[in-house]
Amino acid sequence: MNAGVLLYCFNTESYRYDKIAAKTVPLLKKNLKLPITIVTNMETFKELPPLGMINYKIIEHEKGNKIDNKPWHNLDRWRAYSISPYDKTILLDIDYFCYTNSLLELLDVDEDFLVHDKVYDLTGRNAYTFREKSAIPMVWATCIVFNKSKKAQEIFDMVGYIKRHYPYFCSLYRIDFRNFRNDYAFAIALQQLGGFTGYNTLPTRLPTLPANAVVKEFSDTHIKWEMEGRSGVIENTDVHVIDKGVAYV
């Protein structure tokens, strides 16, 4: 089986995702030892440091989405199925740091498409309770594992359709977040294609360090964070870091 990791990396006026990629990729190579494809644009590609053997896919990313009134280049995730060169793909946000090889276990799971539907807040504050924000449960597109299969292709194609008609689907499912979010787009696609009978998800909760937890130290073995007078260390655990300041630590 041809398996690999797919990452999206687009710099914005506010965030240097190329610097985050410089932290993500070495951890992937160290702990997963899988081939890596990075989807990026030419402007970001020119800023990326040498990362060793990487398959780059240069595209013209779609513009227009924002978060907190800042550009948010997240409108091309639905293209991951056609872009991925792998039979089985681990699709990750660029700020998901692999400190273990746990994701390798998912390559043996006999499912065409899996995504997280629950989050584990590593600060213990349980900051992610969005159930009241929409009529359907949200999934987390931070980590998706998919096969090259008809079912997976249908899901990604459906996400592309939802993206093009997102205001309609926001109204239909009473989604409070009116800027496009892949999390809700994938949730809607899974509901629509599954006939509202449910769908399989990744068996673990997505380990996450929330935005107000500031990363103070980053290495290839651990992350130290501070938040509201508290501090902690993350090690031997994969983690999705929301604080984009991690780029400069």
- pLDDT digits over 77-123, tens only? 999 999 999 999 999 999 999 999 999 999 999 999 999 999 999 99
Q: Detail the DSSP E strand segments found in 1-59.
A: 3-9, 36-40, 55-58
* Structural domain span for residue 60: 3-209
Evaluate whether residue 237 is within a structural domain: no
Q: Detail the DSSP E strand segments found in 149-229.
A: 206-209, 214-218, 222-227
Evaluate whether residue 217 is within a structural domain: no
Domain of residue 133, CATH code: 3.90.550
Task: Quote the tokens at residue 132.
Answer: 């009241």
pLDDT category at 131 given cuts 50, 70, 90 is low
Lowest-confidence region among 17-26, 183-192, 196-205, 221-230: 196-205
Average pLDDT over every residue of 166-195: 93
pLDDT at 237 over 80: yes
* Nearest by Cα to 237 from 225, 226, 223, 227: 223
* Nearest by Cα to 192 from 214, 210, 168, 223: 168
Structurally, how many domains does the chain consist of?
1
pLDDT at 128 over 90: no
Residues 30, 153: Cα–Cα separation, whole Å: 30
Q: Detail the DSSP E strand segments found in 69-211.
A: 70-71, 88-92, 96-97, 113-116, 119-121, 140-147, 206-209
Task: Quote the tokens at residue 37.
Answer: 């494809």
Question: Are the CB atoms for 215 and 123 separated by under 8 Å?
Answer: no
pLDDT category at 25 given cuts 50, 70, 90 is very high
Lowest-confidence region among 39-48, 137-146, 188-197, 223-232: 188-197
For the chain, the first-to-last Cα distance in angstroms comes to 37
In the chain, what percentage of residues exceed pLDDT 70?
98
Evaluate whether residue 222 is within a structural domain: no
Question: Are the CB atoms for 183 and 139 separated by under 8 Å?
Answer: yes
Residues 118, 180: Cα–Cα separation, whole Å: 20
Average pLDDT over every residue of 133-147: 93
Question: Are the CB atoms for 125 and 167 separated by under 8 Å?
Answer: no
Evaluate whether residue 245 is within a structural domain: no
Per-residue model confidence (pLDDT) at position 29 = 98
Mean pLDDT across the chain: 95
Evaluate whether residue 220 is within a structural domain: no
Task: Quote the tokens at residue 245.
Answer: 């300041």
pLDDT at 133 over 90: no
Say which residue the tokens 């060169």 belong to: 85
Question: Are the CB atoms for 217 and 231 separated by under 8 Å?
Answer: no
Evaluate whether residue 240 is within a structural domain: no
Evaluate whether residue 10 is within a structural domain: yes
Evaluate whether residue 104 is within a structural domain: yes
